[in-house]
Structures are given as C-alpha cells and as structure tokens.
Amino acid sequence: METPPHEAAASAARQEAARLTAKDIHGVALTWVDNAGITRVKAVPTARLAHAAQWGVGMSPVFDVYLSDDSAVTSAHIGGPDGDLRLFPDLDRLTVLAAQPGWAWAPADRFEQDGAPYAACQRGFARRMAGRAARSGLELRMGYETEWVVTHATGADGEADGPEASGRSRRYAGPGPAYGMTRITGLSGYVRDVLQALAAQGIDVLQIHPEYSPGQFEVSTAPSGPVAAADDAVLVRETIRAVSARHGLHATFAPVVEHGAVGNGAHLHLSLWKDGVNLCRGGDGPLGMTRTGEAFLAGVLRALPELLAVTSPHPAGYLRLAPSMWAGVFQCWGPENREAALRFIPGPAKDLQGANAEIKCIDATANPYLVAGAVIAAGLDGIDRKCTLPAPVSGDPAVTHAGVPRLPAALPEALGHFRGSALLREALGEPLYEAFLAVREGEHARLQHHTPEAVVADLRHRY
C-alpha cells in the first residue's frame, strides 16, 4: 500500500476506533513477520489508532537481523542500534480477535521516516511480486495449510512443559490414532472454539482434521491473494495459540516437536489465473494445464533448491525434511503425489476452478510473505523462460525412482543455492536479500554444534 494521506488515514482510523470502542476493544496489535519467521508486534491503545494510522508507530530496523532466540547479527545494509521505521496498520485487515477479548489486530506495512517504502519490508515484497504478476495480466490465488501440535500446559510430573521437557514427560492433548475421530472427540470443545474463532474473524476454513503425530492437527483455509493469504496464515496461527491458552493447552508450530517424529508443515497451495480462468486446467499441457500454467509451475520446480532457504529456513526444518515422510524432499512433481515437492491437484474432473498445486517443503519457521513473493518470482521466471515440466513421478521417489534429485538435506546446502540465485537476489532487492542471508547464516552458526534433540528443543516454544 502507498503511504495514505495523513488526514484521510486518521479519519478512517477514528471511525474504526469508534467501532472498536463500542465493542469494548482496548488494544490493537500491529504485527509483521521478520526474517527469522517470528511474528513481532507493537500494540497501541484503541484511542491511539488514529495517531498510528496518521504517523505510524516506531520500530527499529534491527529486528530484520534478529535470530529466533532474539540474538542479533548484522548485514551489509541493516544492523546495529541506529535508525527507526514507521509501522502503518493496514486498516482493510483490521480484525477483532475472537479468542483475545478486548483486542484487535492489523498487519503492518513498514516505511522509512520520510514516508518512502522500506526496502526490506517482507509484506511489501509479497505485494511487489503480486504486482509484477498483475502487470502480465496474471493473478495468484494462494492458501496456506497450518499444522500444529497441542500439549497440556504442564508435563506428567506437574512441571511446566518447557523447552527442556522430554518426550516422556510431555503430555500430548487428544490421544488417538492419526486422522482418528477419537482425537476430535477428546478435544471437541477445543476444535469447535478454533473453528468458531476463525469464522468470527472472517477466515474461511476449508477443513480441519487430526494429523499423523500425537496431538497434531491441521487446518486449511480458502485461497486469496498472496498478501492476504500470508496475513491469514499469521492470523490463523495466533488465533490457534490464543484458543489453546484459553483451554490450558500449548500449541507449537515448530517444524519438529520430537526428533524422529513426523513434523509440522505449512504447505502452500496456489493456482494461476487470467481473466477469471484457472490456468491450471483447460489447456493442452500436462494433465490439462495451460502452457502458461505449466511454465509457471515448471519455474517453481526448477528453483526449488534455492527457494528451500526461504521455505525451510531453519536448521530444525531439515530434521522434518526426510524421505518417505510426506514432506516433499525430492525435486519432482506428480498428480496427487504427497512425496513430491510439487504435488499437482487436478480436482474433480468437471471442476476446472479447483485445480491447484501444493508446495510441500515449507514449514512455519518461514516468513509467509517471503514464501509468497519468492514463489511468484520463480513462477514468473518460468514463464519468461518458457519452461516445461519433466515427466511426472508416481510413488515414493526414495523407493521407485532412483535418480530423482534430492532437495538440499541441510541448511548450508540450501544457502549455497540461495547465494548463487540471481533470481532471488533481484526479486528481494539487496537490503532484504542480505539481511535474510545474514539471519540464515547466523541461525546455522548458532546451532551447528547442537545435537538434533537440542535443535528441536530450542524451537519448541519459539514458534
């Protein structure tokens, strides 16, 4: 969004503040997601919303080089104690928080003090890439899946379920088999409250179900534009966290909760549209894709090794990315193949609107705005290059398709591809590219000598 005229923004915010006050809302949380994938916040009293909309709220740019443990690194363009930014609430997304009485939320766009767009604003990056697609007459519709594990707030020995708690003492909520109705039955009130809160906040839920690991659930939301989809991902996660707390439970979205177990993903579904037509169906390309739709997906598939530093940016994510675990660790695509990094979903035969693709090698340590923007950049590059998809892969590539490329198995390998990516450097721009790289290198340096169990414990209560 362009910086709104000061008075017009203040006028709109005063009307919103009056509406919120009438609903007994006393605080507004303004959030952004940093390069560590942490949702950061500045909150203002409802009475100060108009001032925030007119002049912004101050926040140091140094948070763009914070790591997940709140330590900081530095980069060529960003780092150190100097400088300040202005956070402007996006009033179009202002939402009363159903699970946090007295509170509202709005995502923030970040600007320089002189009103210029901040070059390292991740939300701004997603918007720029969506705009780049729009200039070619293309529209992206995206939706994130959210997986999480819920535990009781205290361990079996009565101690808090803190980062040091072992699997033996951790008490998972909702016992029962994977996808089993017993987990819904045991936590029916909790799951109902999650659905009720999301609906009250205007989030269109497609489905919710128990997942594979103990205490694990997944919720899928309806597709929307790239920025809105990333906003939804943030709001869904924080809503689940709030509902869990009200039920005396703890929710974690960390990519791995127990080393060796199936972890939490944050898969992205996407489809490409032009003039109201879904380009993933109705053409003469593979499985009925249009040639433009094929080229976009081929560009994403081609760029996956360099994209992986964005979609799975933390060392813990590579403990999740194991073969034969439905995590999508092979650089291939296939119709309804949950072992392929790029799963194509044709949908029902007569439903041309429902066809889409799923990128599986994503977890919740990723910034959803960076994921959306980077994927768009890769897809548009595929169109420019007139890329085509290789033959689809069926079955588990680890068993049936020797020679299918494995995606990077550790963060340093993914960072090697990222450093060599002219595509992502150009799309992100130097300040954001360098800051993101510094954070990822810092995260690796901080944890490179940790055991897998220690890496997992380090994140369990950070995401």
Q: Phi and psi dihedrals of 88, rounded to 5? A: -110, 125
Question: Domains in the chain, ordered, with CATH?
Answer: 6-118 (3.10.20.70), 130-459 (3.30.590.10)
Joined together, the tokens standing for residue 360 give 């599986």
pTM recorded for the entire structure: 0.95
pLDDT digit of tens for each residue in the chain (463 aa)?
A: 455 457 888 999 999 999 999 999 999 999 999 999 999 999 999 999 999 999 999 999 999 999 999 999 999 999 999 999 999 999 999 999 999 999 999 999 999 999 999 999 999 999 999 999 999 999 999 999 999 999 997 644 334 455 444 444 568 998 889 999 999 999 999 999 999 999 999 999 999 999 999 999 999 999 999 999 999 999 999 999 999 999 999 999 999 999 988 999 999 999 999 999 999 999 999 999 999 999 999 999 999 999 999 999 999 999 999 999 999 999 999 999 999 999 999 988 777 788 999 999 999 999 999 999 999 999 999 999 999 999 999 999 999 877 899 999 999 999 999 999 999 999 999 999 999 999 999 999 999 999 999 999 998 889 9
- Which amino acid does the sequence have at 2? E
Q: Classify burial at 69, counting beta carbons within 10 Å of its beta carbon; exposed 0-12, middle 13-18, buried 19 or more.
A: middle
Q: Phi and psi dihedrals of 255, rounded to 5? A: -60, -30
Q: Classify burial at 331, counting beta carbons within 10 Å of its beta carbon; exposed 0-12, middle 13-18, buried 19 or more.
A: buried
C-beta of residue 407 within 8 angstroms of C-beta of residue 341? yes
C-beta of residue 368 within 8 angstroms of C-beta of residue 229? yes
